[in-house]
């Protein structure tokens, strides 16, 4: 069967999609590209915000239009939280909640009687990521979270913390290496909590990955700014561990952070970022900010703007607050109107553009290795794009006849593009 896989939201959803793709290949099925027709479509949904729910619904509708004869399997946080409503929607053949998603392929084969051709089944030698136009692989090492930030619905959808055994993680990374992957991202809901149920921790995981695998580039996914031991920074002495972290701040106001039930105030966050930049050369920090949290006053918003600018992030992910039923924040007084949230989002986006320009400019004239991930702007262009070790975006003008995708090239960074969003690199 031709099977199309699609995901929204976090890198954990992408990691799960990659696992399903590999399992389906072993059963003799073929992973279809986004533009191909499919017999079966599997969608891993998101529900972290109201906008994510809207996009999940839109993706389902688009899938039904693009492949009207295909059977549709839906999983992920939206499917787990609103499964009853989804089950009543026309065109959904199978719902697999998060608690069962590790067995999604087995369940789909049984419930939908998938026609797996035994003679075609084999151990895949080409990673299904390449079929989908991706180069970096996401490796799920942990799921669930023990904490309860007041805005977060994911803890309800994902459940308690569960860590993958170290041997499984190492085996998956080794397999990815044999399939041609050159960069992995270790990911989880609460990545810093890895090993809490295995008498281990994230540092031990990283030491093992660096010692026992040959993967050229290793990244960490979104990591909460706590639970990091002092020895954590020593690991970055190994150049295979990329000098970039996405540390969600959520607000630059301590009073807002307390209403969010965050475990890290602005002082601790600033010290953490300062330590990272002091200990690790070229360290890049990106972050998440929630705009318009319940009760956010004008003074608290100004504190956020000032703090964000003072720290100078390489990139901002900006989320206007949306109430999620079942969370404490949805019941808090002082819910802000949409106009205020949009206005504050515009201010933060403008600040983010200025900060990105400041982050990129010092690298003009430097020479850095860049993993080429594909064509810039789609297949119709002759330019390519990739990322430096510290996750700065680079565009490489075309002109050569050889496809450099999935190669690590030493590039001289000659300029910041006029849009201020990326660097220009030349071999």
Residue 176 pLDDT: 94
Query: According to the model, what pLDDT value does residue 305 have?
Result: 98
Distance CA 234, CA 254 (A): 29
- Residue 118: the pLDDT is 41
Residue 355 in this model has a pLDDT that exceeds 60: yes
- pLDDT above 90 covers a percentage of the chain that reads 71
CA–CA distance from 149 to each of 157, 211, 378 (Å)?
14, 35, 38
The rounded distance, in Å, linking the Cα atoms of 282 and 287 is 17
Strands 2-7 and 30-31: parallel
Contacts 24+ apart (CB under 8 A), 121-126: 121/26, 121/27, 121/28, 122/25, 122/26, 122/28, 123/26, 124/22, 124/25, 124/26, 124/179, 125/178, 125/179, 126/179, 126/180
Query: For 181-239, how does the pLDDT look when each residue is reduced to its tens digit (9 = 90+)?
Result: 999 999 999 999 999 999 999 999 999 999 999 999 999 999 999 988 778 999 999 99
Tally of residues, the chain: 427
Distances (CA, A) of 112 to 73, 93, 107, 169: 10, 8, 8, 30
Per residue in 163-183, pLDDT (tens digit) is 999 999 999 999 999 989 999
- The least confident of 94-98, 134-138, 274-278, 293-297 is 134-138
Determine contact, residues 138/12, Cβ cutoff 8 Å.
yes
Specify the domain boundaries for CATH 2.40.50.140 within the chain.
364-426
Residue 157 has a pLDDT of: 86
pLDDT band at 4 (very low <50, low <70, confident <90, very high): very high
pLDDT digits (tens, 9 = 90+) for 300-311: 999 999 999 999
119 pLDDT above the threshold of 70: no
Task: Give the number of other CB atoms < 10 A from CB of residue 77.
Answer: 27
Q: Which helix (H) or strand (E) holds 35?
A: none
The token pair that represents 410 in the structure block:
């030493």
- Pairing assessment for the beta strands 408-416 and 423-426 based on DSSP bridges: antiparallel
pLDDT category of residue 86 using cuts at 50, 70 and 90:
confident
pLDDT: is 365 or 53 the higher one?
A: 365
Q: From CA 42, how far away is CA 34, in angstroms rounded?
A: 12
Confidence of residue 156 (pLDDT cuts 50, 70, 90): confident
Average pLDDT rounded to a whole number, residues 311-323: 96
Q: The whole model's pTM is what?
A: 0.90
Is it the case that residue 388 has pLDDT exceeding 80? Answer: yes
Who contacts 52 (Cβ-Cβ below 8 Å, separation ≥6)? Answer: 8, 9, 46, 78
The Cβ-side half-sphere exposure at 227, using a 13 Å CA radius, reads 19
86-110 mean pLDDT:
88
pLDDT at 124 over 60: no
Looking at the chain, the whole-number percentage of residues with pLDDT higher than 70 is 94
In this predicted structure, the answer to whether residue 116 has a pLDDT above a threshold of 60 is no
Instruction: Among 21-25, 35-39, 108-112, 349-353, name the most confident range.
Output: 349-353
pLDDT of residue 123: 52
CATH 3.40.50.12160 in the chain is located at: 2-120
Strands 183-187 and 408-416: unpaired
Task: Answer yes or no: CATH 3.80.30.20 is held by domain 133-362.
Answer: yes
Average pLDDT over residues 336-348: 97
The class of domain 364-426 in CATH terms is mainly beta
CATH 3.80.30.20 residue spans of the chain: 133-362
Whether residue 299 is predicted with pLDDT greater than 80 in this model: the reply is yes
For the cut 50, the answer to whether the pLDDT of residue 128 exceeds it is: yes
Confidence of residue 133 (pLDDT cuts 50, 70, 90): low
Res 310: pLDDT = 97
State the pLDDT at residue 395: 95
Q: Could you give the 3-state DSSP secondary structure of residue 415? A: strand
Q: Which of 91-100, 267-276, 297-306 has the lowest mean pLDDT?
A: 91-100
Q: Domain 2-120 maps to which CATH number in 3.50.50.60, 3.40.190.10, 3.40.50.12160, 3.90.70.10? A: 3.40.50.12160
Which bin fits 344, alpha (ψ -120 to 50), beta or left (φ > 0)? Answer: alpha
């Amino acid at each position: 069967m031709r099977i199309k896989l699609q995901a929204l939201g976090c890198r954990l959803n992408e990691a799960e999609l990659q696992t399903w793709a590999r399992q389906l290949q072993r059963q003799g099925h073929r992973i279809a590209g986004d533009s191909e027709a499919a017999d079966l479509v599997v969608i891993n949904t998101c529900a972290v915000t109201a906008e994510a729910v809207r996009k999940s619904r839109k993706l389902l509708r688009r899938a039904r239009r693009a492949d009207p004869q295909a059977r549709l399997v839906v999983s992920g946080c939206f499917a787990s939280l609103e499964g009853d409503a989804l089950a009543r929607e026309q065109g959904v053949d199978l719902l697999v909640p998060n608690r069962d998603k590790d067995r999604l392929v087995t369940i789909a084969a049984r419930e939908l009687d998938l026609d797996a051709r035994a003679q075609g089944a084999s151990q895949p030698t080409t990673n299904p990521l390449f079929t989908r136009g991706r180069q970096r692989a996401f490796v799920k090492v942990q799921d669930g979270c023990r904490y309860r930030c007041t805005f977060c619905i994911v803890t309800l959808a994902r459940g308690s913390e569960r860590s993958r055994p170290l041997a499984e993680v190492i085996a998956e990374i080794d397999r990815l290496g044999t399939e041609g992957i050159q960069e992995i991202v270790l990911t989880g809901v609460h990545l810093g909590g890895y090993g809490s149920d295995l008498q281990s921790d994230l540092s031990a995981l990283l030491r093992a990955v660096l010692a026992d695998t040959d993967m050229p580039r290793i990244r960490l996914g979104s990591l909460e700014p706590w639970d990091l031991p002092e020895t954590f920074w020593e690991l970055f002495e190994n150049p295979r561990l990329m000098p970039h972290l996405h540390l969600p701040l959520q607000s630059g106001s301590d009073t807002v952070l307390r209403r969010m039930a965050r475990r890290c105030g602005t002082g601790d966050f600033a010290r953490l970022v300062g330590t990272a930049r002091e200990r690790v050369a070229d360290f890049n920090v990106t972050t998440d900010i929630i705009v318009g949290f319940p009760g956010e006053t004008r003074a608290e918003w100004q504190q956020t703007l000032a703090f964000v600018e003072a720290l100078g992030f390489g990139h901002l992910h900006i989320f206007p607050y949306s109430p999620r039923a079942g969370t404490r924040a949805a019941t808090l007084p002082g819910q802000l109107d949409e106009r205020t949230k949009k206005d504050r989002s515009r201010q933060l986006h403008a600040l983010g553009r200025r900060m990105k320009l400041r982050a990129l400019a010092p690298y003009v004239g430097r020479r850095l290795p860049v993993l080429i991930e594909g064509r810039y702007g789609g297949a119709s262009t002759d330019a390519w794009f990739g990322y430096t070790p510290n996750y700065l975006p680079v565009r490489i003008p075309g002109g050569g006849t050889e496809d450099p995708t999935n190669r690590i090239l030493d590039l001289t960074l000659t300029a910041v593009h006029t849009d201020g969003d990326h660097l220009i690199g030349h071999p």
